[in-house]
Amino acid sequence: MAYLSKSLKSQEAITVKLSTTARHEEVAESLLQYGVRIKVLAMDRPGVVKIGVTAPAGLTPTKQEGLIVSTRRDVGHLGLTRSLHEEIVVTLRAGGSAGDVLDWLATDGLALSVAVIRERQVVINVTAHDDLLVLRDELCPQ
């Protein structure tokens, strides 16, 4: 598993991309089973939120400078409000094309940007391939 913990301000982002040495079959299986997990770790300073990203081996989360914009037709955007210690889980959708998702992760990557920081909540925008399922952790099947 790969892990990144970063403090972000509004309009800053993290991307999760496929490593060039990754074993595609293993990444696809881990993405289906465990997914990428995004957790709100701290909101100690005004205007700053600490986000933790855990990704399967072969996927690398990194802090991204500037806004991330995708014009691809097979990509969607979702904004989710999360409080301290709450998570977002991104997994391969049942019946989704692992090959298409891995190709997309190699080029564009999963984008997680901070849209709004409130007193006790943050809105995280997720830009993901249509074959990925983006859920609040409490809605994930156990």
Report the relative pairing of strands 110-117 and 121-129 from DSSP bridges. Answer: antiparallel
Distance CA 70, CA 132 (A): 15
pLDDT of residue 88: 97
pLDDT of residue 71: 63
The three-class DSSP label of residue 18 is: strand
pLDDT of residue 27: 95
Distance CA 134, CA 6 (A): 21
Q: How many CA atoms lie within 13 A of 60 on its CB side?
A: 10
pLDDT along the chain (142 residues), means of 10: 93 93 94 94 93 96 74 83 96 92 93 91 95 90 64
**Could you tell me the pTM of the whole model?**
0.91
pLDDT of residue 70: 63
Distance CA 61, CA 74 (A): 21
Distance CA 110, CA 52 (A): 14
Task: State residue 31 phi and psi, 5-degree precision.
Answer: -65, -40
